[in-house]
Amino acid sequence: MTRDGSEIKICEWNIHHQGGRGSKTTTPDWVVDELKDQDIVVLTEFPTDTRSASSKSRSSIIGGLQDSGFVCSPSDNRRGNDVLIAVKKSLITEPELEFYCPNPYYNEDELIPENAFVQLKIKGRDLVVVGVRIRTLGQDYKGRKAQFNWLMEKLEQIGNHPVLLAGDWNHGRVCSSNEDWSIGVMMDCLEEACYSVFPKTGSSCLAEPPRCRFPNDHFVINRAQLRLENVQYDWEFVDAHASAYKWASGDSDAPRLAKVSPPYPDHAMLKATLSFTN
């Protein structure tokens, strides 16, 4: 971050908790190491506080981030996955954060994404940070769109604050023409509401031919008040921790990982620099 707070380093990362399925080991310590130089972090598929390994991973990540100067705000779903929002203390003007996280598993009659909302002041400016993961619900794309609709209603209630959304939107491949939920449906809805989506290309989880990649992870901003630069899917952690990963393809522009088991992250780190427009 610049000294005057004009540029803020942000990162969203799906760290592959997968609802605790098949995970008998804790998240590796290097996950926190990869995040230490960021200012705002959003983690999706964050471990819940239920099973033994999940609880240990949760405590380890939160403790590591706190030791690195972050204030941590995790959801508490007790099922599925949680979402964590972490913000550097040095960035926050007022110590009290407004935090809420409607539980998506409390009432299955209302389709809600895994989520967390934090409202804070950065250098005296209001900012709302929203972490989100659209639940896959098998192949129920209408159900995924219903979760998105719930989120859009919540955004309308926020008012005129600058809003940064970060998460895993589970819309499928860029070549999908699904009329219920796809990257095209998502972008059309958000653009109409004066939000912008970043990035629109690339691959955050699986690499396919260029016309059909998988950019499931995105930042979303209300473009009148916020600006994003240097947006990238960062895969460098894979090479840095090669013992946990194997490449299934040598194409560096479209990396393809062999199957990755939890709790090792299987999505790229989505990074950018955030600033206010005025």
In a domain, 92, yes or no: yes
Between 4 and 275, the higher pLDDT residue: 275
pLDDT tens track for 51-87 = 778 889 999 999 999 999 999 999 999 889 999 999 9
**What's the confidence (pLDDT) of residue 121?**
93
In a domain, 3, yes or no: no
Burial of 57 (0-12, 13-18, 19+ CB in 10 A): buried
In a domain, 1, yes or no: no
237 pLDDT above the threshold of 70: yes
Burial of 274 (0-12, 13-18, 19+ CB in 10 A): buried
Name the token pair of 205.
């989880």
5 pLDDT above the threshold of 60: no
Provide the whole-model pTM.
Answer: 0.93
Respond yes or no on whether the N-terminal peptide bond of residue 162 is cis (omega within 30° of 0).
no
**What's the confidence (pLDDT) of residue 202?**
82
The CATH number of residue 129's host domain is 3.60.10.10
249 pLDDT above the threshold of 60: no
221 pLDDT above the threshold of 60: yes
Amino acid at 69: G
Q: Residue 229's closest CA among 8, 38, 58, 22?
A: 8
Mean pLDDT lowest among 92-96, 216-220, 268-272, 273-277 = 92-96
In a domain, 52, yes or no: yes
Q: Residue 265's closest CA among 60, 63, 38, 28?
A: 28
97 pLDDT above the threshold of 70: yes
In a domain, 172, yes or no: yes
Residues 264 and 18 sit within 8 Å (Cβ to Cβ): no
In a domain, 2, yes or no: no
pLDDT tens track for 163-182 = 999 999 999 888 888 899 99
Query: Which domain, by its residues, includes 37?
Result: 8-276
**What's the confidence (pLDDT) of residue 244?**
84
pLDDT tens track for 195-207 = 999 998 888 875 5
Q: How far is CA 3 from CA 39, 66, 164, 174, in A?
A: 12, 21, 21, 38
